[in-house]
Structure formats: structure tokens, C-alpha cells
């Protein structure tokens, strides 16, 4: 006989697996597609709806994760070996590991444009990101273990106003090569978002009469620029086990946690390179 508590747990487990299926990515019931952040997957056709946003990077034989299959077919997935590899998202942060000083430096370059893009908004975005990501709740610098040694994690965030709206070519380039993030800022935007890990649409002010300083979306959206996925549902709130996390709560309500930082460390250990592009965080964190 199954008690009500066990039945509830079984129901939650069933809902979880119904939502997160192929390579643990989220299934969008409205479109019937799996959402990977940078592109969508059609399970009925077993095909991607767009090419791999890594683009021309795939044909570089010097890449540590080079695959001839992916170099020839940009619609493939992890060299057709999903049992061994995963490819979530996160396209636009550069990292460098300083082994001598035991530091990991992550650089993220953001340019804002649009009707309400100005220096005051840029400064507020930057402050919101740094307040959330530079240290834990106690003010201690983040650390991750790499090869048995503890490394301090530093985020170098640049938010500046673009001289003019970036061209379509620049936006496409950011999607493919991941060297810059472009964010459209407008007071008409009511819900901030990030497309493809590098193109954003962020609101220019707070909601419900609040100032941007008291209702700043930048810290959460910065997580998307790094490759982290949302951990909440529209009507159910934070996903089970994620309450309080930066990716599961409304603006300025959640916190960056060690598991977020550890996901970055796991990615860097898998790459085994001292520098490069932070472009495919393992979302199973």
C-alpha cells in the first residue's frame, strides 16, 4: 500500500522525468521541442532545428574536443556520442587559469544598447552582477578544487554602453564565436531574457514602482550568459531542491551557491586547458 507521502514523492519524480528527458534537458510542451538554450531539438524527427552555434569553431582540428563528425555536420550532437558527452550552453565567457597564484579568472564582456541604454543602467547592471557573483553570502571569495588544489575564482565583468546598436553580423558572430554579449535595454521590456547564451533583452527599470537598484535582473541573466539554465517553472516556483538559488528565484531574491561555482570547476577540469572559452557548462550540477 502506498501512503500519501510516498505517492506525492512518486508524482514529483514522474513530473521531473516528464520535463527533463533527453540528456536531462527541458522539454517544452507547447512546442514539442527540447530547449538547449542555444538551439532546439525536435525529438520526433531526431533533428536539431538550427546549426550548432559553435559554428566555424567546429572545424578547428586544434580544439581539445575536436570531432570530424561535428566539423562536417553542424547539425550533429557531441560527435554523435551522447553517452560519453553532453553539450548544454554558455557561449560567451573567457577563462584563464593562473596555476602559479592558484586563481581562475573569468572575463565576461557585455555591451548594452537600445532606447534606455545609458551609463547609469550599465553601472547598475555591473554592480548587481558583482554583488551576487564575486563572493558567497558571508563575503568569502569563491574557491573550487582543480587537480587537488584550491583555486580562487574571480569574475571580471565589463558592462559598457555601445556606441551604436551592433549589426546583425556582430550579433551572429557573438552567437558563433562567443567573444561578446550584446544586450538590448528598453523600458518597454517587462521580462528579461537571454538567447543563445549571448544575446539579451533586459528591462531598464524595476517592476511595480521599484528602482533598478532594488529589482535588478542582471545577476540572474548573467547566469544565463555563463550557461546556467533556469531552475523554476512558471506556476510552480523554484524546482525541487533549488529554492534560494540564483537561477531559481525572482530578481535579487536568490543567491549564487557553491554548486554553481563547482559546475564551472567541473567544466574546466574536463577541458584540461589553461585558457579558453567557457562555452559548455555541464548542467547536471
Residue 204: give the domain boundaries: 93-278
The pLDDT of residue 98: 92
> Distances from the Cα of 45 to the Cαs of 32, 77, 90, 267, in angstroms?
11, 14, 25, 30
Q: Is the domain of 256 the same as that of 187? A: yes
Stretch 258-268: mean pLDDT: 89
Q: Is the domain of 126 the same as that of 251? A: yes
Does residue 26 lie in a domain region? Answer: yes
Q: Is the domain of 266 the same as that of 201? A: yes
Confidence of residue 21 (pLDDT cuts 50, 70, 90): low
Q: Is the domain of 75 the same as that of 97? A: no
Judge whether residue 208 has pLDDT over 80: yes
Does residue 154 lie in a domain region? Answer: yes
The pLDDT of residue 261: 94
Does residue 216 lie in a domain region? Answer: yes
- Which residue from 166, 164, 163, 212 is spatially nearest to 192, judged by alpha carbons? 212
Which CATH number goes with the domain that contains 261? 3.40.390
pTM over 0.85: no
What average pLDDT does the chain have?
A: 78
Judge whether residue 58 has pLDDT over 60: no
Q: Is the domain of 41 the same as that of 101? A: no
Q: What percent of the chain lies above the pLDDT cut of 90?
A: 44
The pLDDT of residue 275: 80
Return the top range by mean pLDDT from 65-69, 145-149, 166-170, 201-205: 201-205
Judge whether residue 99 has pLDDT over 80: yes
Does residue 88 lie in a domain region? Answer: no
Number of domains the chain contains: 2
Q: Is the domain of 241 the same as that of 197? A: yes
Question: Pick the residue with more confidence: 71 or 134?
Answer: 134
Q: Is the domain of 121 the same as that of 72? A: no
Does residue 39 lie in a domain region? Answer: yes
Q: Is the domain of 44 the same as that of 104? A: no
CB 107 within 8 A of CB 230: no
The pLDDT of residue 79: 55
Distance between CA atoms of residues 59 and 69, nearest Å: 10
Q: Is the domain of 192 the same as that of 56? A: no
- Which residue from 266, 271, 270, 257 is spatially nearest to 284, judged by alpha carbons? 266
Amino acid at each position: 500500500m502506498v501512503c500519501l507521502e510516498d505517492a506525492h514523492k512518486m508524482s514529483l519524480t514522474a513530473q521531473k522525468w516528464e520535463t527533463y528527458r533527453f540528456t536531462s534537458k527541458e522539454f517544452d510542451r507547447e512546442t514539442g521541442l527540447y530547449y538547449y538554450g542555444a538551439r532546439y531539438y525536435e525529438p520526433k524527427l531526431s533533428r536539431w532545428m538550427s546549426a550548432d552555434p559553435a559554428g566555424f569553431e567546429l572545424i578547428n582540428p586544434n580544439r581539445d574536443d575536436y570531432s570530424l563528425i561535428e566539423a562536417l555536420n553542424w547539425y550533429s550532437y557531441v560527435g554523435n556520442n551522447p553517452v560519453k558527452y553532453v553539450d548544454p550552453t554558455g557561449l560567451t565567457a573567457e577563462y584563464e587559469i593562473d596555476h602559479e597564484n592558484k586563481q581562475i579568472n573569468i572575463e565576461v564582456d557585455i555591451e548594452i544598447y537600445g532606447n534606455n541604454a545609458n551609463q547609469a543602467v550599465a553601472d547598475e547592471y555591473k554592480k548587481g552582477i558583482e554583488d551576487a557573483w564575486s563572493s558567497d553570502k558571508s563575503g568569502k571569495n569563491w574557491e573550487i578544487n582543480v587537480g587537488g588544489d584550491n583555486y580562487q575564482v574571480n569574475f571580471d565583468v565589463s558592462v559598457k554602453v555601445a556606441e551604436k546598436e551592433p549589426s546583425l553580423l556582430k550579433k551572429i558572430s557573438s552567437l558563433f564565436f562567443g567573444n561578446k554579449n550584446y544586450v538590448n535595454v528598453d523600458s518597454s521590456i517587462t521580462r528579461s531574457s537571454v538567447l543563445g547564451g549571448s544575446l539579451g533583452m533586459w528591462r531598464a527599470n524595476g517592476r511595480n514602482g521599484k528602482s533598478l537598484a532594488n529589482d535588478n535582473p542582471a545577476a540572474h541573466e548573467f547566469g544565463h550568459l555563463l550557461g546556467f539554465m533556469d531552475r523554476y517553472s512558471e506556476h510552480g516556483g523554484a524546482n525541487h531542491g533549488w529554492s534560494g538559488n540564483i537561477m531559481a528565484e525572482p530578481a535579487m531574491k536568490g543567491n549564487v551557491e557553491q554548486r554553481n561555482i563547482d559546475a564551472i570547476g567541473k567544466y574546466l577540469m574536463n577541458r584540461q586547458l589553461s585558457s579558453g572559452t567557457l562555452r559548455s557548462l555541464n548542467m547536471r550540477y
